[in-house]
Amino acid sequence: MSKQMKLAAYFNPTGHHVASWRHPRAQADANSSIEHYVEAARTAERAKFDMIFLADSNATRKADIEAISRSVQFIAHFEPLTLLSALAMVTKNIGLTATASTTYQEPYHLARKFASLDHISHGRAGWNLVTSNQTAEAANFGRDSVLDHAKRYGRAHEFAQVVQGLWDSWDDDAFVRNVESGLYFEPSRMHPLNHKGEHFSVRGPLNVPRPPQGYPVMVQAGASDEGRELAAEFAEAIFSPHLTIAAAKAYYDDVKGRMQSKYDRHPDHLKVLPGLSVVVAESDDKAAEDFEALQSLIHPIVGREILSTMLGGMDLTPFPLDEPLPDPLPPTNGSKGHYDSIVAMARRENLTIRQLGQRVAGARGKNAIHGSARKVADMMEEWFAAGACDGFCVMPPYMPGQHDDFCAMVVPELQKRGIFRKEYEGATLRANLGLPLPPSRYAR
């Protein structure tokens, strides 16, 4: 069988587009509707997606009140692990991946939650490891400012080490449950961690058995040098932000090269999945019409506010909407991948702040395409064949409409080309992604 593409379904409540909730084929109250998520999860599973992915933050977006009152992203929505535990009960094969920050949690809390989700789902959990860079989040945890980039990633690195150590607290066969002898677990198969490091001191053991997958699948998204290093050491899937094949392939080769040279990891044990927002229709013209109608729903103030956020919280209000970005721009403490991609696009196309705001606000810095199923599949296959990715994180611009359309139109086209599965390979997320089961450090 030829190499198969991997697909993640990115579920923002009403869709990834900033004006998604205004579209007639979106569910405006999706942020508080479990029924909406259940149906979307079942649709993705019927289409044989590898995983569902839920983004998250620890704050309601801090921005101009007029801007956020017209937006749905990160305003009020379900806590993702609670939601995924519910979805585990109505799905069987699809992976369940959620964002959880290393900045405002303790490793023990997070290790326990994801180990529990992995057991509840019979081995389908994934953890998207992020650091928090918004001042609104810092304010919810008694801090006046965010940690600088290097400190956030230093903490994240140790955090991931501790979490994996806690997941190894019990051998896979520790719980003998011998009714006749009265022995519930074998004492020699329990392992306190006794970690003492720069950021954390954690005794252990974890009070949850070892996860069915050994470790829930580790997902990451970071384009900075620190982010790439973290991904090379720990990540098994990456959601990347690149807008061109050349940039995506350079990133792909760099991270996978670090995996091999520095951490002795096989490059196939990491799946790079660029974000892709798709408007698909029966023809290119109909897709373009739908896309333009969706774009027309973006309020200019919302576009500017989203652009400001994606540039690391830069205040753009002093600058005219119909002039280009100021040059030079100050450096950012936010996502370097988004910052670099957006500034490069603005300079390359000489876009005004209004135009750039509309461009990035829709897909929020991710790649976007509109067209027929054939056109969309051609683009996806081109990236895949060029070695720029292992698949995509598909971000429906509005839900359920475009999620349903992608599953009904694009997935069959990919299957017809022999580059996407028709049936799941296994019962766990690791099995379907082609990832090995990590042995316990004590077994090693």
What's the rounded Cα separation, in Å, for the pair 107 and 314?
A: 31
Q: Determine, yes or no, domain membership for 208.
A: yes
The encoded tokens of residue 436 equal 């090995």
Q: Domain of 156: which CATH number?
A: 3.20.20.30
What mean pLDDT comes out for the span 202-231?
A: 91
On whether residue 336 sits in a domain, the answer given is no
Q: Is residue 79 part of a domain?
A: yes
Cα–Cα distance, 57 to 54 (Å, whole number): 10
For residues 174 and 423, give the distance between their C-alpha atoms in angstroms, rounded to a whole number. Answer: 34
Asked, for residue 107, whether it belongs to a domain, the answer is yes
Which two structure tokens, joined as six digits, stand for 149?
């980039």
Q: Say if CB 61 and CB 136 are below 8 A apart.
A: yes
Are 104 and 135 a contacting pair, CB within 8 Å?
A: no
Q: How many domains does the chain have?
A: 1
> If we measure between CA atoms, which residue out of 326, 96, 336 comes closest to residue 221?
336
Q: Identity (one letter) of the amino acid at 126?
A: G
Question: Who has greater pLDDT, 132 or 286?
Answer: 286
pLDDT digit string, tens, across residues 19-78: 899 999 999 999 999 999 999 999 999 999 999 999 888 777 666 666 666 666 657 789
Q: How many CB atoms lie within 10 A of CB 318?
A: 6
Do the domain assignments include residue 247? yes
> Is residue 426 included in any domain, yes or no?
yes
pLDDT value at residue 66:
66
User: Is the pLDDT assigned to residue 84 strictly greater than 70?
Assistant: yes
Does 303 reside within a domain? no
Question: What average pLDDT does the segment 226-248 reach?
Answer: 89
- 124 in a domain, yes or no? yes
| Alpha helix (H) residue ranges in 296-352 | 300-310, 336-349
- pLDDT at residue 194, as a whole number: 97
Residue range of the domain that includes 406: 6-282+366-433
Report helix angle 80-88 to 34-46, nearest 10: 60
Query: So what's the pLDDT on residue 403?
Result: 98
- Whether residue 210 has pLDDT greater than 90: yes
- pTM here? 0.88
pLDDT at 383: 97
Specify the pLDDT at position 67: 65
pLDDT above 90 coverage of the chain, percent: 64
Rounded distance between C-alpha atoms, residue 429 and residue 50, angstroms: 7
- pLDDT tens column, 331-385: 766 666 778 888 888 889 999 988 888 877 766 667 899 999 999 999 999 999 9
Peptide bond into 274 cis (omega under 30): no
What is the average pLDDT score of the chain?
90
Residue 130 clears pLDDT 90, i.e. is over it: no
Query: What is the rounded CA–CA span in Å between residue 220 and residue 225?
Result: 13
Q: Rounded to whole angstroms, how far apart are CA atoms 307 and 314?
A: 9
Q: Confidence class of residue 139 from pLDDT cuts 50, 70 and 90? A: confident
Q: Which helix (H) or strand (E) holds 5?
A: none
How far is the C-alpha of 225 from the C-alpha of 240, rounded, in Å? Answer: 13
